[in-house]
Structure 1
Amino acid sequence: MRLVRLPQGTRVTVLAGARVFDPDTGETTRADVRLDGDRIAEVGPGLDGGERVDCSGGLLIPGLVDCHVHVAFPRTEPLPRSARILEAVPVLRGLLARGITTVRDAWGADAGFKHALREGWLTGPDLLVSLRQLGPTGGLGDSWEPPAGAVDTFGDPSLPDPLFDGPDAARAAVRRMVRAGADWIKIGAGGAMASIRAGVDVRPADDELLAVVEEARRCGRDVMAHAHTAAAVVSAARAGARSIEHGTFLDDSAVAAMADAWYVPTLSPISDSEFAETHRRSLRLAVEAGIRIAAGSDLAPRPHVDLATELRLLAAVLGDAAALKAATSEAARLLRLDDDRGRLEPGLRADLVLLDGPDLDVTDLPGRIRAVWHDGERVSEAS
């Protein structure tokens, strides 16, 4: 076991009497968990020390990770820019209260949100940002509404211009995002669902996609690719995108191309649409091919759906244990955070959720939550 030298006055807490979930095996075991400050110090039976929290009859799982959220997505109605920021305050607070301790924002939040969370001005999960969605003229990131023309609902230097035409311009767009603080680069490898329904799907050329991925890597960033159609998925995956988002219309060629990528299916937004069964079929196809699955809710439509809804939909295809793995250890691997979180092991971050009952049923996770710890601190109901 890794030993950690504790600063004087570090808070020690023992979570006692629960079963502990291992997302990689899908098994639960009876064990205590000792938290030393913001780290897990030990997992095992009969642990002592510090404050003791009775978790009898419950299940401890790692803090949940949502790989595709929009905590500050622009509204369609004309509102001041501040409305986008202020709306995010209860959204972030609510995510943390529901056990979601890490999120990757897929368009809308800027680096200022991360600063505010670090300073304690806002309460919420750890946040990774992509700022905006890169794309070619006429593509997904192009705010153009005929006959009004260019309608940029951001107009904010912290959310730079995402448009490019040609490989050199694509590289420059990546650099603009990195300069503004992006942790991830998001590319619109295909159009929005509305565009696809209308038979219009403006996609980047393959050399543009390759330029985005290469430049992102040169800058120490990974690429997440919005792609509904099989053609968009194939292009993005072959270019080297680390994760494929949505993948509503997968086929054998798309799944074959995704062998080295993660699939973030985001079932929630269209779970009641005409394409819901097609989407589930795509997920089954990916699972059968051994594609790695990470959970993402696409928290943007209002009223918001979050990871609790996504987990229920994933479990209907994957089973409860695999759905929880997709939102813990596998999500952490996708985000390159698996050496820090996603499992309940000594040395990792003390992000945990205590659920009522010992089973893995994800039908109603919010209704089962007894307590949440983030960085070793218990999250209050008022947070």
Structure 2
Amino acid sequence: MGHPSRQDQEPQHRGHVLPRLGPGAPRPGHDAAALPGRSDLRVVRQQRDAQRENLSRLDPARSEGARGSVRGTAAAGPRRSALGVSLAAARPLRRRGPRRVVAARRREGVDVRREGGGAVSLTVLTNAFLIDCTGTDPLGGAAVVVEDDRIKEVLPNGRVGPLPGPVTTLDLKGATLLPGLTDAHVHICAVEGNITDQHRYLPPSLLAAKALRRAEECLMQGFTTVRDAGGADYGFREAIEDGLYPGPRLLVSGHYISQTGGHGDKRRRAEWIPPIDCCIGMIGSIADGEAEVRKAAREQIRRDVNQIKIMASGGAMSPSDELDTTQFTVAEMRAAVEEAQAVGKYVLAHAYSDGAVRNAVAAGVRSIEHGNLIREAAAKAIRDAGAFLVPTMVTYEAIYREGKRYGIGDHQIHKINLAREQSVQGLTYAYRAGCKIGSGSDLLGDMMVQRAVEFELKAQVMTPMEVLLSATRVNAELFRMSDRIGTVEAGKYADLVVVTGDPLRNLRVFQTQDNLKVIMKGGRLYKRTL
């Protein structure tokens, strides 16, 4: 990545290697942990109603029927005339026919782009401390001009020339402006903490409703594009694109593909039944042999997924395998890769162990998920293949501390801890090898509120700027969307986040939702509390 590592010592193969994040001398650029009883990791509990309270300020009609109390919600600034327009459904990325669902207009953020008449809408963000995530140094006093859903101009000197028509101006007063954050490993359908059993208790309709609420929560954390790594089908993507529900730009994988008894096989030891294929959500397609894997991949492609997800090793949450095993042969995985490549898509692989990662890379997999147990050989294989590693460090910390209260079993917690203890080690090997490192979270259920803690954990190895780049520019390259998202540059989607404080000095600023003052996706304001 071009910067020296934060760890000078060689990684150890034994013992607990995750540095404690609690009391004592704080690391440079970090605050001490804030919550009593959680001294080794700051866990931020955000309130769903705080999101609705903010949207209520943008549309008073929303406030009626809001449930629960709101704690710590930032006070809204003076109401500006441009916010008086009616709410509008989010513009889809593809042009389609006229909207038939008017109810969507009650759920989306303020459309500063105006509606109808073909009039060009302009929004100017001024007095910004700009971190554009191109890799250049931050700029103070910068300005960004947004035209409809795109960034029209970036002005380092902050001088905005004459603009035609009505203009909405947001004075950031020195707050930090960044591209919208991205997450390469989410599961919006992991609506409960114990995903092994949620399909046994939730009907599909309730699961779908909860999943869409998880997507909304993700957007309100500042994440404007995410890759769902298994569970969500194209219907969730379409619901967000069509403006039926607010959420991030969603890249779906559909059913993940697993071997019998593999990480995607939800059957317990005593369940001598056919593979579970009952419903939407965290359910996989079970396939054995090249022919079955090829057919399973083709079926997911038929269902219009953005990418294919396979299970190349054991996993922590699966009931009948171990973390350090290999799953699928190289030939089986290559069958999925060939089918994906034939239609311009790619494969991501769940893989922990050194052997599993090397097998996946040999099969042509583009994106390695987790990789906690890798050593130098696997790290070099990832680098040499031009593949990506997506660590998901925060989920192990969260499940290790909170898993039991969600009903997660002792065997699964044991596997979680094994992965947790080697998270920093695996990332260090990849970093030193020069791998392209993306950013993911893999959080489940209510633990998803801790998504931004991932940045702080990565900063044990990477510099703060590299952490931000992994969650913006690098993920955009992984998604094959570098021409549309990932940096603040003219011509790209107006996906923008404004946060108080300087993330290069303190990555914890993202962990407090009140610090997020502006969230814009595709030129549409979803939050504005300046």
The secondary structure found in structure 2 opposite 1:328 is: helix
For residues 1-383 of structure 1, the aligned pairs below 5 Å read 8-25=118-135, 27-30=137-140, 31-44=142-155, 45-48=158-161, 49=163, 50-73=167-190, 75=195, 76-77=197-198, 78-150=201-273, 155-156=278-279, 162-193=285-316, 198=322, 201=325, 203-259=327-383, 260-271=386-397, 272=400, 273-360=417-504, 361-367=506-512, 368-380=515-527
CA distance in 1, matches of 2:494, 2:125: 11
CA distance in 1, matches of 2:237, 2:285: 20
Which is higher, the Rg of structure 1 or of structure 2? Answer: 2
Q: 1:31-86 deviations in whole A, cap 9, x for unaligned?
A: 10000000000001211431211011211100001000000126414221222211
Alignment size in residue pairs: 377
Q: 1:320-366 deviations in whole A, cap 9, x for unaligned?
A: 11111000011000000000010000000000001113452211314
TM-score (norm 1): 0.92
CA distance in 1, matches of 2:125, 2:481: 24
- Unmatched 5+ stretches in structure 2: 1-113, 401-416
- Report if the CA contact (8 A) 1:143-1:150 is conserved: no
Look up the equivalent residue of 1:119 and give its one-letter code.
D
Residue of structure 2 equivalent to 1:3: none
CA distance in 1, matches of 2:522, 2:471: 18
CA distance in 1, matches of 2:282, 2:152: 39
CA distance in 2, matches of 1:144, 1:262: 31
- Report if the CA contact (8 A) 2:223-2:248 is conserved: yes
What is the RMSD computed on CA atoms of the aligned residues? 2.4
CA distance in 1, matches of 2:146, 2:324: 53
CA distance in 2, matches of 1:151, 1:356: 53
Q: 1:205-228 deviations in whole A, cap 9, x for unaligned?
A: 111011111111012211100001
Instruction: Give 1:139 shift.
Output: 1.3
Instruction: Give 1:24 shift.
Output: 3.3
CA distance in 2, matches of 1:144, 1:100: 33
Instruction: Rate the CA distance shift 1:212–1:270 in 2: closer, same or farther, 3 A.
Output: same
Q: Percent identity?
A: 33
- Report if the CA contact (8 A) 1:145-1:151 is conserved: no
Moved more, 81-90 or 324-333: 81-90
- Unmatched 5+ stretches in structure 1: 1-5
- Report if the CA contact (8 A) 1:33-1:42 is conserved: yes
Moved more, 254-263 or 306-315: 306-315
TM-score (norm 2): 0.67
Q: Which has the higher strand share?
A: 1
CA distance in 2, matches of 1:141, 1:182: 18
Instruction: Give 1:376 shift.
Output: 0.5
Moved more, 254-263 or 134-143: 134-143
Instruction: Give 1:276 shift.
Output: 2.6
